[in-house]
Amino acid sequence: MTDTSDTDTSDTDTSDTDTSDTATSPTPHGRDRVLRRTAAIDRDKGREAVLRITRMTLQYPARVAVALIATVAAVLTQLSIPVLLGRAVDQTQAVADGTGGADMLWTTALILLAVSVARGLFTLIQNYTAESVGHALAYDLRRAIYDKIQRLPFSFHDRAHSGDLITVGMLDLEGVRMYFSTALVRTVLLVLLIGIGAWLLLSTDLLLGLLALSFVPFAAWRSSVTQLTLRRTWLLLQERLGVLSQVMEENLAGIRVVRAFAAADHELAKFDRASNDALKLSYSRIDTRVNSSAIMTLAFFAAMGLVLLVGGRQVAAGEISIGALTTFLTFMTLLQMPVRQLGLMVNAFARASTCGARLFALLDMPLEVDDAPDASDLKVTEGTLRLDNVGFTYTGEGQAVSNISFEARRGETIGIVGPPGSGKSTLMHLIPRYYDVDEGAITIDGQDIRDATLSSVRRAVAVVQQDAFLFTTTIENNLAYGDPYAADAQIREASASAQLHDYVDSLPEQYDTIVGERGVSLSGGQRQRLSIARTLMLKPAVLIFDDSTAAIDAGTEGRIRHALRDYAEDRVTLIVAHRLGSLKHADRILFLDKGRIVEQGTHDELLALNGRYSALHDLQTNPDTKIPEAAQ
């Protein structure tokens, strides 16, 4: 019998590592999943994906050619082994009977050894080059995916789930990577191995050949059905594991709440239910795999028993030699593993079609916000920002802002205030082109920002976000994220302006202190101050504070505002705030409601107007003040 393990992978359920068809967590309530994790992919798209992956592998012609040539050579050398073994058996019998010499037996043994070594070498080359093609393709696709994600607009990320993107970039990519080695190369190997092997068997003895191949159709069918069944149940298992992961994630994130309400038993019961659901399905998958393996093994040994029975009688009758019977049995052993792997090949094609369809759907997604073909860098001279009848609507929602017009010159500070949902943050996100306006235009020094390159617009317009995200690295690296080569003096100056330097200087490792995951080692106000300092490092022409001082106490906010006076003289400053005390110093204040400017003027002018702004001011200064209905 011949070991075929080095020619192909063993008959295992590779779908156990295939997590490509489902997200790592359930769909969040109310969020539109842009890249849906479903088993059903349009067949035409699946076929197109397989053809596209095949064409992409041809980008590495030398490796593909070596892999295919090595595969053919490995098959031919492997198919010669049963013939050599049968010859060796006949020669051994001849030596025992005294009718033959030992020299021929030694020659056959040496040839068999050389062929086995050659088969091993060709198999090694085949496996190495086939894997290298897959990894080279994965490298190119991984860079393309990451580049695409960086360029997709905010509107995409508003709808997409991060778990989907990670799954595409890792698990779906893995399904595409394995396509060449587990589908294409395996197809060539199995077609040659089964086709040539069947021809050799049938041409030697038709009856014995048919008996030896009788297990092949059944084993191939059973293997394919089992693999596809395991794949379907794997998708369901992944959903249940996703629920289990969500239970664990929520528990860990809210561990303080769980402890505070003594809800450990309730959380453990939730975990047990989710865990038992996954365990039951795992047991079902084990049953499917074991039963299928047992049935295929029974079919193989039943066919081998028939070959022994009929072949033994033919040997006794002198119709064939013992060596010929050995050749048949060795061929059967040789074919057993490849036939059982037909299901893995079918699974590899199915996986490549579904994974590839989703992966290419992401790569082919049009960019809603991108550089125009003739875009040039934005040239800032006077630093004048102008919004002219700007309107914008989120996909599937009502109009967020409409008919917004104002102008801000260098050195001016514009305050933006309004009730929640009035369009304040939306307006601030339109200026750096996180979204493109649907109506009107936004210009800087008369240049429409849609006609400028995105990179130059983002350099000219900087936004201090409401949610201060920090990377898990040192405070210094977080501050210098936009300018990694900034001098230490510049970092400390920006930190001092944001009223953060004294705190950082008091730390044992000062600016080399590691910030924990998402900045958990800092308070909310400290994170916001670090975010402000990081933006000040860029020295943009337009600086936007999108409610970025909400977690900072009034005293610290006043010191920050005082420190930024000199900084604000060289640029346009826009401040979105809910506390009106943050806007008293603004040159002009815009009050937004339902996406429109309903009031504007200085702080004193708006108070004298006795409208919406005045009512909000009275409410913040005297919480017991009753707001007039007209101002609500």
Q: Is 574 helix (H, G, I), strand (E, B) or coil?
A: strand
Question: Is residue 393 domain-shared with residue 520, that is, in the same domain?
Answer: yes
Beta strands in 64-120 (DSSP E): none
Average pLDDT over residues 294-311: 82
* Predicted pLDDT of residue 121: 92
Domain count, the chain: 4
Is pLDDT above 70 for 155? no
442 falls within a domain: yes
Strand 413-417, strand 588-593: pairing: parallel
Bigger pLDDT: 441 vs 27: 441
- Name the residue among 434, 452, 451, 445 with its Cα closest to residue 542: 445
Question: Is residue 623 domain-shared with residue 596, that is, in the same domain?
Answer: no
Which residue shows structure tokens 């709808």? 159
Question: Is residue 439 domain-shared with residue 572, that is, in the same domain?
Answer: yes
Question: Is residue 391 domain-shared with residue 460, that is, in the same domain?
Answer: yes
Bigger pLDDT: 2 vs 472: 472
Question: Is residue 233 domain-shared with residue 148, that is, in the same domain?
Answer: no
Question: Is residue 616 domain-shared with residue 597, that is, in the same domain?
Answer: no
Question: Is residue 528 domain-shared with residue 453, that is, in the same domain?
Answer: yes
Average pLDDT over residues 94-101: 69
93 falls within a domain: yes
325 falls within a domain: no
Question: Is residue 160 domain-shared with residue 211, that is, in the same domain?
Answer: no
* Predicted pLDDT of residue 66: 92
Question: Is residue 417 domain-shared with residue 315, that is, in the same domain?
Answer: no
Bigger pLDDT: 519 vs 165: 165
* Predicted pLDDT of residue 16: 43
Average pLDDT over residues 322-345: 76
Is pLDDT above 70 for 380? yes
504 falls within a domain: yes
* Predicted pLDDT of residue 210: 85
16 falls within a domain: no
Q: Is 30 left (phi over 0), alpha (psi -120 to 50) or beta?
A: left
* Predicted pLDDT of residue 551: 53
The proportion of the chain whose per-residue pLDDT surpasses 70, expressed as a percent, equals 79
* Predicted pLDDT of residue 14: 40
380 falls within a domain: no
For residue range 3-21, list pLDDT tens digits in order: 443 444 333 444 444 444 4
pLDDT category, 160, cuts 50, 70, 90?
low
* Predicted pLDDT of residue 3: 41
Q: The domain that contains 508 carries what CATH number?
A: 3.40.50.300
Question: Is residue 309 domain-shared with residue 389, that is, in the same domain?
Answer: no
Tell me which of 337, 365, 393 is where a domain ends: 365
* Predicted pLDDT of residue 162: 61
**448 and 442 Cβ atoms separated by less than 8 Å:** yes
For residue range 235-276, list pLDDT tens digits in order: 677 677 767 777 777 777 777 777 777 778 887 888 888 888
For residue range 465-513, list pLDDT tens digits in order: 776 777 777 777 777 777 777 777 777 877 777 777 777 778 777 777 7
Beta strands in 375-460 (DSSP E): 385-393, 399-408, 413-417, 439-444, 447-448
Q: How far apart are CA 497 and CA 515, in angstroms?
A: 20
**554 and 395 Cβ atoms separated by less than 8 Å:** no
Q: Is 462 helix (H, G, I), strand (E, B) or coil?
A: strand
Question: Is residue 536 domain-shared with residue 570, that is, in the same domain?
Answer: yes
Q: Which domain holds residue 628?
A: 602-632
Bigger pLDDT: 14 vs 220: 220
With both helix axes pointing from N to C terminus, report the angle between 102-151 and 61-97 in degrees, rounded to the nearest 10: 160
**514 and 462 Cβ atoms separated by less than 8 Å:** no
**Other Cβ atoms closer than 10 A to 97:** 8
Is pLDDT above 50 for 197? yes
* Predicted pLDDT of residue 21: 40
Question: Is residue 79 domain-shared with residue 93, that is, in the same domain?
Answer: yes
Q: How far apart are CA 221 and CA 63, in angstroms?
A: 32
Q: The domain that contains 111 carries what CATH number?
A: 1.20.1560.10
* Predicted pLDDT of residue 626: 56
What's the start-to-end Cα distance of the chain, in Å? 88
pLDDT category, 104, cuts 50, 70, 90?
confident
220 falls within a domain: yes
Report the Cα 89 to chain-centroid distance in Å: 56
The proportion of the chain whose per-residue pLDDT surpasses 90, expressed as a percent, equals 1
Q: Which pTM does this prediction carry? A: 0.67
Is pLDDT above 60 for 370? yes
pLDDT category, 625, cuts 50, 70, 90?
low
* Predicted pLDDT of residue 36: 47
Backbone angles phi, psi at 589, to 5 degrees: -125, 130
For residue range 14-68, list pLDDT tens digits in order: 444 444 443 334 443 334 444 544 444 556 677 787 888 888 888 888 988 998 8
Is pLDDT above 60 for 567? yes
Select the highest-mean-pLDDT range: 31-35, 129-133, 250-254, 554-558. 129-133
Q: How far apart are CA 23 and CA 38, in angstroms?
A: 9
Average pLDDT, the chain: 76
* Predicted pLDDT of residue 313: 84
Is pLDDT above 80 for 76? yes
23 falls within a domain: no
